Amino acid sequence: MPIMPSLKNADGQDVLSKVDGYAGVITLNRPKALNALSLSMIREITRLLMEWKDDPDVRTIIIQSSSGKAFCAGGDVRSVYEARLKGDEDYMVAIFQEEYLLNFMIHMYPKPYIALIDGIAMGGGMGISIHGSHRIVTERSVLAMPEVNIGFFPDVGASYFLNRCPGEIGTFLGVLGESITAEDALYTGLATHRLASLEIPGIYQALTEAQSSAEVDDILQDAAGGQSDCFLQTHRNLIDRCFGFNTVEEIFEALQQESNPIVREWLKGSLKKSPTSLKLALALLRRTKGMGLREILALDFQVSRHCVEAPDFFEGIRAVLIDKDQNPSWNSTNLSDVTPEMIEGYFKPLV
């Protein structure tokens, strides 16, 4: 069966592109959906990167958003919901497979790949920015891997960059799905440079004139603000103390021993999340320690195949994005209902 791209986006206007100076510029332009990445958008970005890879007139890639609010809020999980309703297996294979291949292409790209994250970047939005060589954040940036809220898991090779965050911060971000701002993004290494939003147009102009990676580095280093005190730095010891365990139960036990009021908020928030997703997120982070991105993305794909068959992902999308009742009815209500064997099942090779 041929895979039909979503007809709504078939005109390609959800991704704008041009060569500006020496830069190939990709502009995400689906503002009403906060630039949620549809299959046709994934295909268009992939096509552009392939076209520009061997084009000597294109020295750098800039990826940005036309929306003041969002860089990219995630993958188009609504379309996954619709595909599952229709039983469109091919679509559910294609969207994850092609998204993860794009993540890997960005990671391996032979030219500077500069993401101007002047707004929300979550889930799939992290996948098309954090794997690039240059990640610019501003005071409008909000970054997260929030998939545990929708019964999914931190995919798009997130284990690769989360496992490279200092201490147990990656475990904190992946398991709780908490959002961070520019200062934190810089502290963790998820971002490489921090600018003021107002400086972006000027920097954009300078970047289009850059002819090499060294010139890009110079432009950004001259403009970027330094690292200052931030939330994650302040709570670093607490996070390291509580998140260095291999079971979610032990993490929650450790959190319950803490007196810091922020921990009450985390625990309260965790009650809304899928218990299966919490355990899956932690298991994946531990299992992928030391793995390369290619291997991690192959594993993400395998896990995603199981998730589209399991009830929580479907129910999570319904509760958060379709019906918006924010009241998902998870398959396993308690952490203790989710056995190690159930989690192991998500990693089984597909036949």
Query: Catalytic amino acids?
Result: 75, 124, 147, 155
118 phi/psi in degrees, rounded to 5: -100, 55
Residue closer to ligand QUE, measured from CB, 5 or 74: 74
Contact between 208 and 22 (Cβ < 8 Å): yes
H or E stretch including 171? Answer: helix 169-176
Residue closer to ligand QUE, measured from CB, 67 or 288: 67
Dig out the tokens for 254 from the structure: 């450790």
Nearest to 173 by CA among 149, 203, 195: 149
Answer yes or no whether residue 151 interacts with ligand QUE by CB under 6 A.
no
Residue closer to ligand QUE, measured from CB, 78 or 84: 78
Single residue of 61, 63, 242, 320 touching ligand QUE by CB under 6 A: 320
Single residue of 76, 168, 184, 312 touching ligand QUE by CB under 6 A: 76
Residue whose token pair is 């850059």: 210
Amino acid residing at 59: R
Single residue of 44, 118, 147, 312 touching ligand QUE by CB under 6 A: 147
Q: Write the CA distances from 200 to 138, 197, 233, integer angstroms.
A: 9, 5, 26
The length of the chain is 351
Residue closer to ligand QUE, measured from CB, 149 or 270: 149
Answer yes or no whether residue 328 interacts with ligand QUE by CB under 6 A.
no
Single residue of 150, 242, 283, 303 touching ligand QUE by CB under 6 A: 150
Answer yes or no whether residue 158 interacts with ligand QUE by CB under 6 A.
no
Residue closer to ligand QUE, measured from CB, 52 or 91: 91
- Residue 125 Cβ vs ligand QUE, minimum distance, rounded to whole Å: 8
- The DSSP letter of residue 236 is H
Single residue of 9, 67, 149, 270 touching ligand QUE by CB under 6 A: 149
Shortest Cβ contact with ligand QUE: which residue? Answer: 74
Dig out the tokens for 191 from the structure: 């971002």
- Residue 86 Cβ vs ligand QUE, minimum distance, rounded to whole Å: 17
Single residue of 5, 21, 24, 75 touching ligand QUE by CB under 6 A: 75
298: number of Cβ within 10 Å: 14
- Residue 148 Cβ vs ligand QUE, minimum distance, rounded to whole Å: 8
Stretch of residues binding ligand QUE (CB under 6 A), selected from 50-58, 69-77, 234-242, 282-290: 69-77
Answer yes or no whether residue 73 interacts with ligand QUE by CB under 6 A.
yes
Strands 193-194 and 15-20: unpaired
Answer yes or no whether residue 36 interacts with ligand QUE by CB under 6 A.
yes
Give the integer Cα–Cα distance in Å for 284 and 145: 14
Dig out the tokens for 160 from the structure: 């690769």
- Residue 179 Cβ vs ligand QUE, minimum distance, rounded to whole Å: 10
Give the integer Cα–Cα distance in Å for 351 and 342: 18
- Cβ burial, residue 65 (10 Å; 0-12/13-18/19+): buried
Which residues lie closer than 8 Å to 172 by C-beta, 6 or more apart?
178, 239, 243
Answer yes or no whether residue 33 interacts with ligand QUE by CB under 6 A.
yes
Residue closer to ligand QUE, measured from CB, 142 or 206: 142
Handedness of CA 9, 14, 15, 17 (dihedral sign): positive
Give the integer Cα–Cα distance in Å for 231 and 150: 25
Binding to ligand QUE (CB under 6 A) within 256-315 occurs at none
Residue closer to ligand QUE, measured from CB, 111 or 273: 273
The number of residues that bind ligand QUE (CB under 6 A) is 16
Which residues bind to ligand QUE, rule: CB under 6 A? 33-34, 36, 73-78, 123, 146-147, 149-150, 320-321
